[in-house]
């Protein structure tokens, strides 16, 4: 029983540490995304092609390539780093693009997952790890409070 409690404590605190790490990183990623979303310029872009890349899970993933013109009237062509199956866009679709005027090559479509996805995923993993760690530590506490001791066998 002592070994089990030790394993549960180590696991519980390990998951708590993982949760704190994920939530901390998520916070900084969120701040970066928030700053980007608040300060970015917006432009209308057009999906000019879909790049198909093989994937183990679905066979193929489609990455949009879009073009837009920035506030200095310079044209840019951006390969999205986020692909989907089925494709989220069709060639010719018009999209709103967010970009930093000093770095338009880092433009992103103005969609939730493109801007906030990494922060949301990290926060989700952090919350799950926090729940698992808390449950493991609660089990240790319950075991300690029960003070279970088997009754001795009585001989007659």
pTM for this structure? Answer: 0.75
- The H helix count followed by the E strand count for the chain is 2, 5
DSSP letter for each residue of 30-53: HHHHHHHHHH-EEEEEEEEEEEEE
Sheet holding 103-109, edge to edge: 75-79, 59-69, 41-55, 94-100, 103-109
Mean pLDDT, the chain, whole residue set: 88
Average pLDDT (14-28) is 97
Q: What is the mean pLDDT of residues 62-79?
A: 90
Average the pLDDT over 81-100 and give the result.
Answer: 88
Q: Read off the pLDDT of each residue in 43-51 and give the average, rounded to a whole number.
A: 92
């Amino acid at each position: 029983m002592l070994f089990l409690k030790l394993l549960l404590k180590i696991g519980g605190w390990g998951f708590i540490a993982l949760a704190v790490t994920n939530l901390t990183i998520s916070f900084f990623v969120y701040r970066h995304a928030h700053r980007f979303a608040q300060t970015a310029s917006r432009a209308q872009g057009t999906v000019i092609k879909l790049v198909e890349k093989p994937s183990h899970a679905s066979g193929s993933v489609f990455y949009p390539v879009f073009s837009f013109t920035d506030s200095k009237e310079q044209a840019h062509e951006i390969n999205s780093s986020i692909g989907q199956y089925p494709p989220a866009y069709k060639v010719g679709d018009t999209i709103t693009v967010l970009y930093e005027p000093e770095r338009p090559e880092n433009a992103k479509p103005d969609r939730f997952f493109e801007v906030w996805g990494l922060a949301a995923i990290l926060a989700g993993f952090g919350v799950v790890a926090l729940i698992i760690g808390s449950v493991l530590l609660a089990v240790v506490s319950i075991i300690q409070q029960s003070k279970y001791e088997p009754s001795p066998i009585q001989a007659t």
